[in-house]
Each structure stands twice: as structure tokens, then as C-alpha cells.
């Protein structure tokens, strides 16, 4: 069940979130879904995850929780939460105070596992744990600035004009030449590698064009897109398919014209001269879609329905209109094909720029912060999400590098037994050595709360 607290500033959202956290921290869930007081908390804070958007919100949440626990443990009557907690947990103030004291002590002694963090921190925590599974070095860096990497990708594009043997990359050269031509048509500079310094200047450079790579839609489909663009032959095949589609549309238009001619035949039917001239133009043209304002002319013919003269016998006007509508629709499809065909070179450029960006990332052992979401999706694809969080917890337990052979044998056994590769959850049962990560006590524990805790212990 998902509960959304939506309210204006100052209405008590943080208060409500802290209350929910305290209920989970001090309580234990019954089979009916309610919470009752846990009189003997056992590191409950380790099993609660709170995600925020900003570091400021993280610090606010942590401080509020620790301070509230301290007040509940020392003087519960002064806490604004005590009434809600006694009602929700069905316990007395004294019992809640004792549990709060135990939970506070456990939390401060294990502050690293007090899991209130930003969404970026949480994702990085997962990535660090599963770096090996997604082919990342454990000491990888994170680049915060997408535009910086995009600029590097564009700058390195020049080096991709020739391969290692010095052979010219004809596809990339052609795509760059098309981009230059379009830039000139749009009234911009031929130097597409020049980046305007003034924001007032219209930027039709490769740098501005390549920013589409940071678009969320592109990132969401990046694997499929760039796997396709990795081979220039795929773009050539795509162009051929578009040209074939365009070629197939022309005879369909002429077939519609031929059917209209048939409807205009018959005794006492006198076709409108202007309408027959329009049909002749469609029929005689090598590419009827090149007729100027074809869509508007077809729409006008449908609206006027002046297919025959006034003294003519009646014709099936609705059938003629249907054929004209088909011609109009074919025109729309043609325009779409042509527009895509004119811009396929841009796909090739994006593929090469992205490849340059990936080269930079691989050479510098770096990932983009904006790409974290995509990598996390790859990690959890087809796996059990609870295991992801469980594995990312501190002390985390991961398979040691020197037991890769054992893990490999385990995976092979699963493959042989079920015909499927093992899921992440299956590795729990792998009898390989697990090494806990070191537990570090951070220096960020609220000093006031820690001091009061030490006084009570003495």
C-alpha cells in the first residue's frame, strides 16, 4: 500500500513522516497489519529506509528523529508525538519511553545504518554493492555535469573521422556534411563545432544538438537505441526501408485515381473539368506527393464535392470522397517517411557522439549521475527488489572475488537444472565465502543527543 501525504508548506508533512518512522521503529507489525509496541527493539532502524530529495531534507529528518527519540526517552510528556504513539501502539508512556531509549542507543551506536538518505545516495549505495555485476570498477567516479561529457563526446567526434588504420569513416563524414548543410539552410554557421558564447545567439551547433542525449526519454530507451546505432549498416537498412515505403505509396495513390475514374464513367455522367485535370495531374506525375499543397487541394475537393457538372447524372460521391481521403492519408504517411528519412543522419551522429562519451567514461572509470537510474533498473531487472536493498545494507555481504569460480559453478548448475540463469536471490543459497564490509562509526552523530545518551548510561 502506498500512502501519499500531499499538503502545503508548514502543514505538518515532516511531522507526519517522523511519526510514521517512529511507529515502525518502536513497533512491530501484527498479522492484521497494525503495529504494537516492541518492548525489546533489535536494531529496527536497520530495516527502515527513508528517501529524500535533498541533503538538507536528510539532515532535517535525521535530526528530528534523533531529537524526538531523546525527548521520548528522557521526558515523554514534553514530546508532541507521545499522544499519537500511545494511541497507535496501544502502550503506556513509560513503556514507550523505555523502548525509545533502547532504540536511540542502538541507533547512535550504529549510526551508519540509520538509513535516511537522498535518492542519489541510495542509488550510489546500490551501485557500489553491485558494481561488479554491471561491469563497473569498485572505485568508479561519478560525473555530475552531463553537458561536460556531451562536449567531450562532440570534441572527440573529430578523432572518429578516421579509424586506427587511417581509413576514412565515410558514414560519419556524410552525416557531418548533412548537418552542416542543414545548419546553413537554417541561417547558422557552417562551423558546427563552434559553440556560441552568447546565450542570445541561436545555437545550431553539434553541442546543442547532442544535448538530446541527456533527455529522459532517450535515457529510458538508450540500450535499445545505441545497440541499434552501433552498426552503421542498421541505419542504411532503415533508410532502405523508408525509401521502399515511399515507393509503395505512389502506386496506391494511382490505384485510388483509377478507381475514381471508373466511378466517373457511365451514361449521362459529365465529369467536372477541373476535377479531371486534378486527377490527371495525380496520375501522370512520377511522384504525386511532390504536387504543391497536395493535402490542401485534396481537402478542398472533399469539401466542395464538385465531381460532376450540374446537368450530369449522379455519381457515388461518398465513394469518391473515401478514395480522396485515402490519398490524403497516404500523403500524411509520405510526409512522415520523408521527414524521418531526411533526419536519419542525425541518428548516426547521435550514435557516434554517444560512443565518444562511452569511450571517455570507460577510459576514466566514470559514470554519469543522470545515468544512475538506468543502471539500477538493469540491476533489479527480473530480480527481487528486497534482496537488492538487503545486499546494499551495511554490514553488506557480498561474494568475495576469490570465490568467483564457486559462483560460476553454482550458476552453471542452476542453468543445467532449470534451463535458466540464477536470479540474484538464488545466490543467497550459494555456499561461497561471504565477507562483511567494515562497520565504520561516522562523525556525524548529533553531538547533543549523544552527550545526553552518555549521561544516562553513567
Cell of 421: 540463469
Query: Which of 276, 150, 157, 166 lies closest to 210 in space, CA to CA?
Result: 150
Residue 425: band (very low, low, confident or very high) from pLDDT cuts 50, 70, 90: very low
Pairwise CA distance, residues 186 & 367, whole Å:
35
Does 113 score more than 80 pLDDT? yes
Pairwise CA distance, residues 403 & 27, whole Å:
40
pLDDT for the residue numbered 253: 92
The number of helices, as runs of H, and strands, as runs of E, in the chain is 18, 8
pLDDT for the residue numbered 71: 92
Report helix angle 232-263 to 273-284, nearest 10: 150
Does 442 score more than 70 pLDDT? no
Report helix angle 372-380 to 119-129, nearest 10: 50
pLDDT for the residue numbered 444: 42
pLDDT for the residue numbered 223: 76
Q: What is the mean pLDDT of residues 62-83?
A: 92
Count of CB atoms within 10 A of residue 394's CB?
17
Max Cα–Cα distance, the chain, nearest Å: 115
Pairwise CA distance, residues 188 & 207, whole Å:
14
User: Which is more confidently placed, 102 or 174?
Assistant: 102
Per the CB < 8 A criterion, the answer to whether 96 and 85 are in contact is: yes
pLDDT for the residue numbered 393: 47
Indicate the helix (H) or strand (E) that contains 267: none
- Whether residue 371 is preceded by a cis peptide bond, meaning omega within 30 degrees of 0, is no
330-387 pLDDT tens trace: 999 999 999 888 888 888 888 888 888 888 877 777 777 677 767 767 666 655 544 4
Residue 366: strand pairing partners: 141
pLDDT for the residue numbered 386: 42
Residue 100: band (very low, low, confident or very high) from pLDDT cuts 50, 70, 90: very high
Residue 109: strand pairing partners: none
Does 431 score more than 50 pLDDT? no
Cell of 62: 535525521
Report helix angle 232-263 to 317-363, nearest 10: 180
Residue holding cell 538464488?
Answer: 426
Count of CB atoms within 10 A of residue 134's CB?
13
176-223 pLDDT tens trace: 888 888 888 877 778 777 776 655 454 667 888 888 887 777 777 777
Least confident window among 139-143, 212-216, 383-387, 403-407: 403-407
| Sign, Cα dihedral of 282, 288, 292, 298 | positive
Does 98 score more than 90 pLDDT? yes
Pairwise CA distance, residues 242 & 228, whole Å:
16
Query: Which of 346, 328, 361, 389 lies closest to 49 in space, CA to CA?
Result: 389
Q: What is the mean pLDDT of residues 225-245?
A: 86
Q: What is the mean pLDDT of residues 401-414?
A: 45
Per the CB < 8 A criterion, the answer to whether 351 and 306 are in contact is: no
Per the CB < 8 A criterion, the answer to whether 324 and 302 are in contact is: yes
Q: Which residues, including other chains, have CB under 8 Å from residue 182's CB and lie 6 or more apart? A: none
Does 69 score more than 50 pLDDT? yes
**pTM of the full predicted structure?**
0.53
pLDDT for the residue numbered 168: 64
Does 235 score more than 80 pLDDT? yes
Does 447 score more than 70 pLDDT? no
Cell of 267: 451514361
User: Which is more confidently placed, 421 or 436?
Assistant: 421
Residue 133: band (very low, low, confident or very high) from pLDDT cuts 50, 70, 90: low
pLDDT for the residue numbered 400: 32
Q: What is the mean pLDDT of residues 27-36?
A: 87
Residue 29: band (very low, low, confident or very high) from pLDDT cuts 50, 70, 90: confident
Pairwise CA distance, residues 257 & 251, whole Å:
10
Pairwise CA distance, residues 230 & 234, whole Å:
8
Cell of 24: 515502525
Per the CB < 8 A criterion, the answer to whether 353 and 210 are in contact is: yes
Cell of 433: 565465502
Amino acid at each position: 500500500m502506498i500512502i501519499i501525504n500531499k499538503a502545503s508548506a508548514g502543514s505538518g508533512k515532516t511531522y507526519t513522516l517522523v511519526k510514521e518512522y517512529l511507529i515502525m521503529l518502536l513497533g512491530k507489525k501484527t498479522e492484521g497489519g497494525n503495529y504494537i509496541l516492541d518492548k525489546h527493539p533489535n536494531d529496527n532502524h536497520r530495516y527502515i529506509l527513508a528517501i529524500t530529495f535533498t541533503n538538507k531534507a536528510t539532515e532535517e529528518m535525521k535530526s528530528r528523529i534523533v531529537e524526538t527519540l531523546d525527548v521520548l526517552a528522557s521526558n515523554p510528556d514534553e514530546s508532541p508525538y507521545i499522544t499519537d504513539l500511545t494511541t497507535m501502539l496501544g502502550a503506556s508512556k513509560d513503556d514507550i519511553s523505555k523502548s525509545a531509549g533502547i532504540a536511540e542507543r542502538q541507533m547512535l551506536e550504529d549510526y551508519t545504518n540509520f538509513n535516511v538518505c537522498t535518492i542519489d545516495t541510495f542509488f550510489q549505495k546500490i551501485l557500489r554493492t553491485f558494481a561488479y555485476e554491471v561491469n563497473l570498477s569498485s572505485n568508479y567516479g561519478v560525473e555530475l555535469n552531463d553537458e561536460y561529457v556531451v562536449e567531450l563526446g562532440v570534441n572527440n567526434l573529430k578523432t572518429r573521422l578516421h579509424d586506427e588504420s587511417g581509413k576514412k569513416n565515410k558514414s560519419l563524414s556524410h552525416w557531418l556534411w548533412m548537418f552542416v548543410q542543414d545548419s546553413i539552410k537554417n541561417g547558422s554557421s557552417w562551423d558546427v563545432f563552434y559553440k556560441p558564447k552568447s546565450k542570445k545567439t541561436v545555437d545550431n551547433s553539434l553541442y546543442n544538438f547532442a544535448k538530446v542525449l541527456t533527455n529522459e526519454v532517450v535515457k529510458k530507451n538508450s540500450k535499445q537505441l545505441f545497440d541499434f546505432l552501433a552498426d552503421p549498416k542498421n541505419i542504411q537498412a532503415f533508410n532502405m526501408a523508408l525509401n521502399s515505403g515511399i515507393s509503395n505509396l505512389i502506386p496506391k495513390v494511382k490505384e485510388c485515381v483509377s478507381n475514381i475514374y471508373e466511378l466517373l464513367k457511365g451514361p449521362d455522367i459529365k465529369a467536372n473539368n477541373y476535377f479531371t485535370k486534378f486527377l490527371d495531374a495525380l496520375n501522370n506525375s512520377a511522384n504525386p506527393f511532390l504536387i504543391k499543397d497536395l493535402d490542401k487541394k485534396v481537402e478542398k475537393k472533399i469539401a466542395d464535392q464538385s465531381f460532376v457538372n450540374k446537368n450530369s447524372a449522379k455519381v457515388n460521391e461518398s465513394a469518391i470522397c473515401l478514395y480522396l481521403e485515402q490519398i490524403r492519408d497516404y500523403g500524411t504517411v509520405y510526409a512522415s517517411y520523408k521527414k524521418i528519412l531526411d533526419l536519419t543522419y542525425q541518428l548516426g551522429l547521435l550514435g557516434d557522439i554517444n560512443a565518444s562519451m562511452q569511450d571517455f567514461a570507460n577510459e576514466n572509470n566514470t559514470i554519469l549521475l543522470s545515468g544512475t537510474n538506468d543502471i539500477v533498473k538493469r540491476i533489479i531487472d527480473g530480480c527481487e527488489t528486497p534482496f537488492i536493498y538487503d545486499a546494499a545494507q551495511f554490514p553488506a555481504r557480498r561474494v568475495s572475488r576469490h570465490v568467483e569460480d564457486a559462483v560460476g559453478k553454482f550458476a552453471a548448475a542452476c542453468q543445467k537444472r532449470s534451463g535458466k540463469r540464477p536470479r540474484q536471490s538464488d545466490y543467497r543459497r550459494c555456499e561461497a565465502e561471504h565477507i562483511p564490509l567494515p562497520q565504520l562509526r561516522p562523525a556525524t552523530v548529533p553531538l547533543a543527543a549523544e552527550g545526553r545518551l552518555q549521561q544516562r548510561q553513567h
